[in-house]
Amino acid sequence: MLDVNKTNTLEQANAPPGTELVIPENLPPIKVMNPGLYKNLCEQVTSIYKHNNELRYGTRKRHYEATKRFCGFLADNFRLQKFKNVEDRHFRAYAEYLKEMGFSPATIQSDLSGIRFFHRLSGSKNKLSENNCLDLPKRAVGTENRAWLPEEKEKARAIAGEMGRTDVVIAIDFIDAFGLRIEEMCRTKLEYLMSALKNGQLVVPKGKGGQSRPIMLNPDQRALIAKYVEYAKAIGLRPGDYLISSSEKHGVLDAKRSLQNWMSYSREKFMVKDRDKIIEKGKKKRHATISWHGLRHGYAQKTHADALIENPKQAKKIVSENLGHHRYKVTRIYLAEAKTTKKAK
């Protein structure tokens, strides 16, 4: 069988300079019985990919990876030679395969969207079914607690330190303390930290939707920023330099990819085994694995707990604003408390 993850040249050639190839998490390697057919289909999809600029790069890349996996399925199960000839029966069969393999609802929906995207651009006259016609499992949002356990944070920092990955240690500290998205962390500059110490608030620039947001500093956050301002100056960073990213072209993207790859290859070393079996009364079930975003969940939970003591009526608003969502309902996704159902009278 051909292990396609060892033949990545097409993806690497099309990525922006400095971009590392990142295989989506929790998905198995693509292995096919008919490598010739698979390669032929992939070349057709790659041609579309190279000559299209719709959507953001990350979304387009995700759609591309999903469609390549579909090509492997087509090669082995239908011996199809032209991607343009994909019919709804092929698409439906793949949807059933994904369900049988136990992929998450989110992964299934994302993959099918990617396939529809490339199928439309192929010029095919065939129509593919929408999700509401495929009897897909429902996508449950906010039903699990994705926050890291204290011992996971402690061990992750220790492992990163032993590896010489100061950038990882800094990312853990700041995402945990401020609820930053990973790209926001990579865009943080020394001057932002210096300004925060002066003004008493960290202004997070270029968040989701391009909006900035201020986070008022508590004593622990101020101490953390002061510590890293001192560190940054000690290693010769200037105010306009990024804290963990290079100032070179694509430096932020490179730093983001590097952090993502570290998480993919290192999480098993510090993640608590069978964490999803940890039962906490009144709390959501723990998610089976952890990610960078889980630190953001932990920040939301701590901020909410503190706000309930200091300003209970505004607790959800404070968390929502600090996360940069501006929608109170989104806050529930991040919190650990299980949703209670009203008992019938």
DSSP string, 51-72: T---S-HHHHHHHHHHHHHHHH
Residue 124: CB atoms within 10 A of its CB come to 16
- Angle among Cα 6, 8, 14 to the nearest 5 degrees reads 175
Q: Is the pLDDT of residue 222 over 60?
A: yes
Extents of the domains making up the chain: 2-133, 145-334
Per-residue pLDDT tens for 303-336?
999 988 988 888 888 888 888 876 666 778 888 7
State the average pLDDT over residues 231-240. 97
Exposure string (b/e) for 45-66, b if CB count within 10 Å is 16 or more? bbebbeeeeeeeeeebbbbbbb
From CA 180, how far away is CA 334, in angstroms rounded? 13
pLDDT in tens, 236-281: 999 999 999 999 988 998 999 899 889 988 999 999 999 999 888 8
Task: Identify which has the larger pLDDT, 207 or 197.
Answer: 197
Q: Which fold has domain 145-334?
A: hpI Integrase; Chain A (1.10.443)
Whether this prediction's pTM lies above 0.75 is answered by no
Q: Pick 2-133's CATH classification: 1.10.150, 3.10.20, 1.10.1760, 3.30.160.
A: 1.10.150
Which of 80-109 are b and which e, b meaning 16 or more Cβ less than 10 Å from the residue's Cβ? beebeebeeebbeebbeebeeeebebebbb
